[in-house]
């Protein structure tokens, strides 16, 4: 059940659960449910839920949430893994949780011998070590959970001490540097033309037009895949006219704007015309397989659409003898379109602050850190071009 289809009484129950106090004798599982309920309902009001009678009201409430659905799901996964491990360690209640438990758990996340799977006991081969970012993503949400417990005076230690100890044992994160992107101009046009034998059915034609529209929108706007897939038809189309900009929610539920260039407008227009311009509240990118037909396209399907186009273009690059370019293309993901746009704009001389706004980064310093390597290369070119050369001694 998606957030858009959660019944009002269920949301009201979550609000009621979120206000339940936490005691030392409370089961850790119930305390975790209270914390997740707080995440689910942050920004919602119990009285306002009584007036949610239609899909528009439900969508408005979803927009008012403080946390995105993706953030809530990632936090839930991190908490469930921790609670599962505590259950194995015979820690059933809040009072039994100690700081040593938290630190041991993080050390095990760093260990090759620890497996996050429930079938860990049946595994005979050593688990693949987690990346540093994965370890941080499984650990940081736990501090929010512990902070809530501490606010009720039910925690046996302080979160300030826990943060200091975690900072000492957590692996250091690498600097966020954007990889050098391949040339995506041929990838984005992969779905534009029908296959040699034509679109055999109307469904296959719709799939091709949808895939083309998605790639053109990513290429045009540098939208994150979650932003693109979260769009509704009314966000990009009014009176059968494609808009040149569309509202999206970036990380942290911050509202931003993406820009739709001419090629993306044409691809979107062809796709929506084939769909006979559905209502504005319908998802822009729909699934058309027989199992999930009519539902919003999933992130995994969006990734698959991009990877298929990149792989086919990479095969053509191999035939042309461009093996290095083919290797870069095989690493293409939806996020590569953002890096391509960022690099291309910087290469054209666009100011770093303007690139930061187009990419909807939280600050220009984020953009600077991501493209630091590119700036170094650019500075080296300037240095080589304008620095003085030595003169021979006469």
- At residue 374, the pLDDT reads 63
pLDDT(2) > 70: no
DSSP symbols for 95-156: GG--HHHHHHHHHHHHSTT---STTGGG--SPPPPPPHHHHHHHHHHHHHHHHHHHHTT--S
Tell me which CATH code domain 202-340 carries: 1.10.443.10
Query: Going by C-beta distance under 8 Å and a sequence separation of 6 or more, which residues neighbour residue 131?
Result: none
Phi-psi region of 172 (alpha: psi -120 to 50; beta: other; left: phi over 0): beta
Q: What residue spans of the chain are helical by DSSP H?
A: 8-18, 28-41, 55-64, 69-88, 99-110, 132-151, 159-169, 202-221, 225-229, 233-236, 262-274, 299-319, 323-329, 336-347, 352-359, 364-370, 372-386
pLDDT in tens, 104-142: 999 998 886 555 654 445 555 556 778 888 899 999 999
- At residue 4, the pLDDT reads 41
Q: Which residue ranges make up each domain of the chain?
A: 3-169, 202-340
- At residue 182, the pLDDT reads 86
What is the band of 23 on the pLDDT scale with cuts at 50, 70, 90?
very high
**Does the predicted TM-score (pTM) go above 0.75?**
no
- At residue 3, the pLDDT reads 40
* Distance, CA of 130 to CA of 48 (rounded, Å): 43
- At residue 62, the pLDDT reads 59
- % of the chain residues with pLDDT over 70: 80
Dihedral sign (CA 164, 169, 173, 174): positive
- At residue 316, the pLDDT reads 92
- At residue 369, the pLDDT reads 78
Lowest pLDDT segment from 25-29, 96-100, 232-236, 290-294: 290-294
pLDDT in tens, 202-258: 999 999 999 999 999 999 999 999 899 999 999 999 999 999 989 887 665 567 889
């Amino acid at each position: 059940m998606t957030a858009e289809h959660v019944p009002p009484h269920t949301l009201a129950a979550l609000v009621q659960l979120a206000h339940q106090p936490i005691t030392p004798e409370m089961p850790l599982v119930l305390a975790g449910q209270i914390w997740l309920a707080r995440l689910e309902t942050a920004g919602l009001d119990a009285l306002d839920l009584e007036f949610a009678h239609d899909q528009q009201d439900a969508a408005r409430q979803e927009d008012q949430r403080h946390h995105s659905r993706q953030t809530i799901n990632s936090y839930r996964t991190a908490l469930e893994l921790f609670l599962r491990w505590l259950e194995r360690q015979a820690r059933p209640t809040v009072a039994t949780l100690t700081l040593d438990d938290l630190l041991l758990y993080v050390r095990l996340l760093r260990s090759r011998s620890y497996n996050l799977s429930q079938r860990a006991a049946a595994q005979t081969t050593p688990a693949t070590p987690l990346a540093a970012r994965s370890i941080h993503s499984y650990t940081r949400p736990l501090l929010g959970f512990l902070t809530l417990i501490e606010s009720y005076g039910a925690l046996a230690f302080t979160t300030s001490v826990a943060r200091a100890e975690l900072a000492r044992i957590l692996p250091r994160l690498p600097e966020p540097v954007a990889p050098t992107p391949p040339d995506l101009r041929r990838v984005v046009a992969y779905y534009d033309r029908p296959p040699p034998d034509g679109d055999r059915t109307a469904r296959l034609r719709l799939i091709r037009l949808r895939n083309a529209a998605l790639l053109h929108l990513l290429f045009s706007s540098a939208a994150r895949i979650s932003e693109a897939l979260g769009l509704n038809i009314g966000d990009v189309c009014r009176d059968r006219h494609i808009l040149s900009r569309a509202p999206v929610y970036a990380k942290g539920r911050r509202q931003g704007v993406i820009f739709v260039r001419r090629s993306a407008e044409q691809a979107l227009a062809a796709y929506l015309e084939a769909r006979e311009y559905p209502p504005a509240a319908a998802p822009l990118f729909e699934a058309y397989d027989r199992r999930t037909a009519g539902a919003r396209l999933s992130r995994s399907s969006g990734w698959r659409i991009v990877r298929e186009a990149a792989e086919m273009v990479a095969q053509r690059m191999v035939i042309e003898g461009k093996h290095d370019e083919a290797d870069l293309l095989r690493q293409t993901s939806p996020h590569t379109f953002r890096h391509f746009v960022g690099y291309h704009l910087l290469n054209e001389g666009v100011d770093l602050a303007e690139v930061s706004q187009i990419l909807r980064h939280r600050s220009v310093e984020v953009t600077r850190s991501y493209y630091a390597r590119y700036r170094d290369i650019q500075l080296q070119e300037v240095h080589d071009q304008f620095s003085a050369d030595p003169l021979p001694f006469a």
